[in-house]
Structure 1
């Protein structure tokens, strides 16, 4: 197969570039019905709120496409037919990345028991509720027993939080979710609320002047994060205000407006990246860095040369994605000093190649795309910025990142990396199951595969203590599971088995869910609310 031309002063590219164009990306979908907590959308059902195609792509250098308006069956919709493992053995050893999320279709087969071993450890630690109000804050406000009919070996729903809000016809965003100590915090429109992880009792509320329009999953070691909000209530308001929030204490810190770096600096679809005491505000053509503790501006994008429009951050590192002012508008990867933004090395991509996602910053793992040829590649860079390898393996891998639609540079929640391994879920064919594939970041080869089991979908959540934490997604009549997969890919251990009674249709139908596993508890919440002045499920927590 033909390799793309090499960038200047770079080593030869190992094989592994995919040459199969992916299908069109899926759009948003949202379930609706008499029971807003558990109703399943009918096959082919048109989603109830108007679609919101972005006005422009997030970053020219990222080559990201907006979802197709009105497309049903988007990521986060409840799976409704059994899926079984499929890998085309005859496919060449090339990592083929499609441009579509997981798609679910209707069916009514009986669920099968999970292929995993039970474990008695990973029990949640005690977490007392600290109500900062008058003691009347609601707890887990479910009206039915979600643990009714719980089978032997199944764990519990600890609580379900619902909310009632009246908003515009397109609904309101609710993307932010953080678990910090004994608190889980969740955004809804203009507010962040903190809840006790043990019982769901409301601890605090922070209200912003206008809607929250940008968050990051990251927090500092002491539980602080930075949130973006609009500069006014109108639909045309700019998303250019930032505020530091102490999630442990439930208190606001500094706030400021992010000034334009140039006349062409546009705050369209901005995003945030955090590492250490540094946060960057990424937007269309520029990026600005601030000190989280004080709000002090550290640096902005240069006015000439290769200009970063976004940074990826983590593990004390900052990686810039810059567009160069040359005839081909080539893209340059930059290792930047988090305090000054100064480059320590650069890696120039060949003509026509863009960065779609950054899966890891230490080591640097990039998903690259060529819009003209429809080629994809996942490239690993060494600590000196030189190309180490490209990933190769049989199967089809989703670029839509399934669980939660997020087109930011580091928004792929289901691509998880540690120091030596990248874990990716395969994209299953209709009626088949998927698997998680572990890729060695030194060789680029697949080390092992763990199948989801008949009729299920398995997705990485986080890598911790030499093991991978994965979520086996719920179905309408089968609860989800949290699994621990050993470093060698051997038999998974079930950390939590969620009930298959009345809670399963609720768990399986969260819209584009945000998920996390911390201290023996599993958290799942919606990313958007219909906001039709009716109770809707917001946040659900499982544990022992």
Structure 2
């Protein structure tokens, strides 16, 4: 998170603050110490942790872009100038609503200004004070030669120009200041207004289970330092059970007490986890893919060819195995991702897909070559199982989305994606929703230009939803089938955050969460405002309610809110400390490079990628930071 100009240097997470002394993990009188004492295996107060990593982003340079940038084409968004510049076209409908494309008008890059008025400065990074809008130039003299407009006429013209600029910047959507205050979530944990959808009688998917704490103000529960690595290392995978927070570590999977952070158990692995299912069974079983061994001088990069099942309740590796393909001889197939549905583990990659029994590890199907050269690229799991199947040639691929029988792998239905789709991501399997960047038109690295709502019984397209990348901020790693984040599906709707835009306050950006109907494809009346200087995105569904995270401005802590699926009113479930060192640690976890998990008054932020510690600019990055309302 970028800081406003001329602020004093930030203290590190765990470093002393001057003045007063003390830092993350140390008491600050008065009141009593807001930070929990770290466990013996975490970072003791005052200790310098291992250097940071790729997954826990270092402070970005001026302009708000995270550093370092991931390689182009990997699927991560590239930071662009701010959204909301006026365009050389008539005023558009309110921000966040669908707009008809202009025939023949070329699309410009994500977030770049179009037709910027002369002299207007570019937008600054999120949370920075913005320069006041320049006054319109003095109206020109009229055609009589030397007679100027009257003072009153100058005021009228200047006001008219200002209105046009505001409309072009999309500010109308934000509403009046009073409306925004009414729609902000309250600090005390009560409810506040929002623009509800058509379902006033209650959310279709029922009531949520998350309870509002008596006091939503949180404290730091524990922190886990970054492991030391010499190469870029993935640490995908984090889960919440009824007793533990479980996180991928270095060649192991570790369970922590959710309140204290003490280690409950550890599962050692032959190599590093390279893929992890985001789903669990009701009895807390899940699946991972991991490398066949640890890096060595002779084999620096080990293949990701082992699939295994974890019992997160007992801390056991139930089984692990590899599988060969008909065309690969004795070489085990390499996998890029893994998921579960029911008691089926499905793993996919460029060499095809395979499936196993979650409890026993017995093979259910394995990669095979079809007569048309098609293979399963990857799977989406959860309540149902779906596959993205790739056919054709490299230059002319044809993608097919199939609903599968989880036990046999037999297709229930098939839908051919339109031409111009090289990759597709499964957002949800029940209902079946797929995201794709059709013809590479998104232009922002989000992997999304359209969503496809598909009937699983017939394979027919129900509706296609255009999601303008300049307006909506959800993300998918385009080369992976189950990777989408910052969105949620429920109540027969898809919930999306809008891109950041200028708020109604003196400075700072904001955004909203809106929804589209998965039957009609139309935008509903749902809208939840993040509030001035906050931005937010969905984490997951809670019954028919949306659990969302509100990213804070430079002087506040983040929040977790519950958005009622029927009324769209917001309730604060957690408000994190605004202390500088804590805030810096929290905001170092950027959504595109981190995992956010919230349940029952506990929030866990964790990295998904580590890099050589010598390349970090922040020596206080963490693998995990946990907050609790207890």
Do they fold alike, i.e. is TM over 0.5? yes
CA contact (8 A) 1:433 1:452 kept: yes
1:162 and 2:237 aligned: no
User: Counterpart in 1 of 2:267?
Assistant: 206
Distance in 1 separating the partners of 2:98 and 2:336: 42
Gaps of 5+ in 2: 1-8, 16-57, 83-93, 113-122, 131-179, 191-208, 443-447, 503-507
* Residues 356-403 of structure 1, C-alpha deviations (whole Å, 9 max, x = no match): 3211111111113333666932111123211111225787223535xx
1:397 and 2:416 aligned: no
Gaps of 5+ in 1: 1-31, 55-64, 80-85, 126-151
CA contact (8 A) 1:97 1:398 kept: no
Distance in 2 separating the partners of 1:174 and 1:68: 17
User: Counterpart in 2 of 1:540?
Assistant: 625
Distance in 2 separating the partners of 1:456 and 1:200: 29
- Greater share of residues in helix: 2
Show the 5 A alignment for 1:3-14. none
What is the SS of the residue equivalent to 2:418?
Answer: coil
Task: Decide whether aligned partners of structure 1 residues 486 and 215 sit closer, same or farther in structure 2, where only a CA change above 3 A counts.
Answer: same
Distance in 2 separating the partners of 1:292 and 1:478: 44
Which one of the candidate residues 104, 114, 125 is aligned to 1:105? 125
Task: Decide whether aligned partners of structure 1 residues 267 and 35 sit closer, same or farther in structure 2, where only a CA change above 3 A counts.
Answer: farther
User: Counterpart in 2 of 1:22?
Assistant: none
Task: Decide whether aligned partners of structure 1 residues 266 and 442 sit closer, same or farther in structure 2, where only a CA change above 3 A counts.
Answer: farther
User: Counterpart in 1 of 2:425?
Assistant: 357
Task: Decide whether aligned partners of structure 1 residues 466 and 161 sit closer, same or farther in structure 2, where only a CA change above 3 A counts.
Answer: same
User: Counterpart in 2 of 1:16?
Assistant: none
* Residues 413-465 of structure 1, C-alpha deviations (whole Å, 9 max, x = no match): 21211251111112224763221111111111111121211122110011122
User: Counterpart in 1 of 2:549?
Assistant: 471
CA contact (8 A) 2:221 2:260 kept: yes
CA positional deviation for 1:506 = 1.4
What is the SS of the residue equivalent to 2:485?
Answer: coil
Show the 5 A alignment for 1:204-283. 204-232=265-293, 233=295, 234-263=299-328, 270-283=336-349
Show the 5 A alignment for 1:25-36. 35=12
User: Counterpart in 2 of 1:482?
Assistant: 560
Distance in 2 separating the partners of 1:433 and 1:525: 24
Which one of the candidate residues 81, 86, 100 is aligned to 1:92? 100
Task: Decide whether aligned partners of structure 1 residues 542 and 516 sit closer, same or farther in structure 2, where only a CA change above 3 A counts.
Answer: same
For this pair of structures, how many residues does the alignment match? Answer: 459
Which one of the candidate residues 370, 375, 397 is aligned to 1:307? 375
Distance in 1 separating the partners of 2:269 and 2:107: 39
Show the 5 A alignment for 1:311-322. 311-315=379-383, 317-322=384-389
Which one of the candidate residues 387, 391, 413 is aligned to 2:461? 387
TM-score normalised by L of structure 1: 0.74
Distance in 1 separating the partners of 2:124 and 2:478: 19
1:425 and 2:497 aligned: yes
CA contact (8 A) 2:237 2:247 kept: yes
What is the SS of the residue equivalent to 1:330?
Answer: strand
TM-score normalised by L of structure 2: 0.64
CA positional deviation for 1:172 = 3.1
- Greater share of residues in strand: 1
User: Counterpart in 2 of 1:509?
Assistant: 588
Distance in 2 separating the partners of 1:319 and 1:436: 27
Task: Decide whether aligned partners of structure 1 residues 88 and 543 sit closer, same or farther in structure 2, where only a CA change above 3 A counts.
Answer: closer
Distance in 1 separating the partners of 2:382 and 2:108: 26
CA positional deviation for 1:122 = 5.0
User: Counterpart in 2 of 1:498?
Assistant: 576
